[in-house]
Amino acid sequence: MEKNTFIGETILTYDMKAYEINATWLGLPLLLLMENAGKSIADFVKRKLHGDVHGKRVVVFVGKGGNGGDGLVAARHLACMGASVDVILLYSEREIEHPDTQINLNVIKRMDRSIRILHIKNVEGPVEADVLVDAMLGVGIRGSLREPVKSAVKIFNESKGLKIAVDVPTGVDPDTGKVADIAVKADATVTFHKLKPGLIKAQEYVGEVIVADIGLPKEAELYVGPGDVKVRVPKKPYNAHKGVGGRVVVLGGSHLYTGAPALAALASLRAGADLAFIIAPSSASRIISTYSPNLIVRSVEGEFFDESHVDKVYDIITRLRPHAVIIGPGLGLEESTRTFTIGVIDKLIENSNIKGVVVDADALKHISTFKRGLSSKFVLTPHLGEALMLAGLERSNNRVEERIKICSSISKNYKAVVLLKGYIDVICLEEKYRLNRTGTPGMSVGGTGDVLSGIVAALIARGMKPYEAAQVAAYINGRAGEIASLSKGERILASDLLDAIPQVFIEAEKYPPVLVSKLS
């Protein structure tokens, strides 16, 4: 078989899942995306049969998930084009998991005698058809196939006819291309939206590859949404113990500012970190420790951090073994504190055990003279004024396009992730960027940026990469502000966001909503 020439971007499975959920957030039902996917399969079959399917026999092998729903839509369209269609269900109707798949099965059941419905347990061996469609698993495969899928794949491969796979041949890992034991050997694969990396690596199974446009809006990828929260944030295991959700250390506070580090630490706990520590000068630590029994406070003597504290603070950090560190909330702008900030950051750069460092508030001003590049484990969280300072600019028109350029420039200069806060948040890692538009004007109140830093650090501590953590945190923070504003209007406080953060996670888990009820 001649090798494919692959052109275009690839997309990992979890990215695709996140963007599909984001599409429902934009108001586009998954049922419509399924319709478009199934129609693209039917249209491809028609082209392969030289534009005429009338009287041709088509057999569609259908699983219980969304891939099976794509196959059912294809079956319906092919029947309407005049083909003789058999649907072979791998599972009983009550085992169908995807609500939109159930809807499409019910439609087919009401199509009188246009489509015959069979069950795999009643199929004794290979079948003969002009076309066979694999809609069994698609991207749902991880590891070895189990029954009844394994036997169905064997029957499919032994059958005669043009073999078409829906999205990814069953048995092929969509991200790696690996085949654990057995997989469909397709003559052609119609994949959706973008190439899956596994298709490039498993060409002996995929055959000809066609990328079909199913109408997934670019905004579902560009803007962070609930799909990113649901898909990207790691779940705690059933046997979770204290610390598995990660540990966060906040370096902040001074004799003038005590609330900012507390907000950051409490936000990290609300976002799922198991432990939040604050290291502060003694002038602030005594006050901070009264804010909440959930905070663990360590102190060094003094009214503010200075260069004499670098080694001692770093020693405390090392003993606390955090996964993520926040530096900046309430630090103050003393010159000696600037020296402290740069000294600690120098040490954090070299610490491979710390997975992420969030640089916020006063620390951003301190590093504006920092000549050494950081790394992609650092997340800088400036507002526009701080961003202009970091970029060496005096003014900006504040349009989204200009904000993207500024964000990208800072990211490249510091070799770090940048989360530029504003009416549209911009999250950059050099040339890559995403946008977030959750939030309300009421969030201009002081402290909401400290809450954001806490969420970023918590997500890193839970196992997310800093670039993804910054994206998801921007959405969560803004959405928490929206939820708080439902009862407070524009009179919200940063502390109001803390109670709303868990609601954002709960809300995201409910996506995608079932927009159409199951038919009986």
pLDDT of the residue at 4? 67
pLDDT of the residue at 517? 37
Which ranges constitute the DSSP H helices of 81-164?
A: 99-109, 149-158
Are residues 421 and 452 in contact, defined by beta-carbon separation less than 8 angstroms? Answer: yes
The whole-angstrom separation of Cα 189 and Cα 376 is 37
pLDDT of the residue at 3? 58
Are residues 441 and 489 in contact, defined by beta-carbon separation less than 8 angstroms? Answer: no
**Which stretches of the chain drop beneath a pLDDT of 70?**
1-7, 514-520
The whole-angstrom separation of Cα 96 and Cα 68 is 9
The values of phi and psi at residue 254, to 5°, are -165, 180
Q: Provide the sign of the torsion angle of the four alpha carbons 474, 479, 480, 486, taken in this order.
A: positive
Q: What is the DSSP string of 37-69?
A: HHHHHHHHHHHHTTT--TT-EEEEEE-SSHHHH
pLDDT of the residue at 360? 97
Domains of the chain from N-terminus onward: 13-222 (3.40.50.10260), 246-509 (3.40.1190.20)
pLDDT of the residue at 5? 60
Are residues 361 and 260 in contact, defined by beta-carbon separation less than 8 angstroms? Answer: yes
Return the structure tokens found at 55: 């009287």
pLDDT of the residue at 143? 78
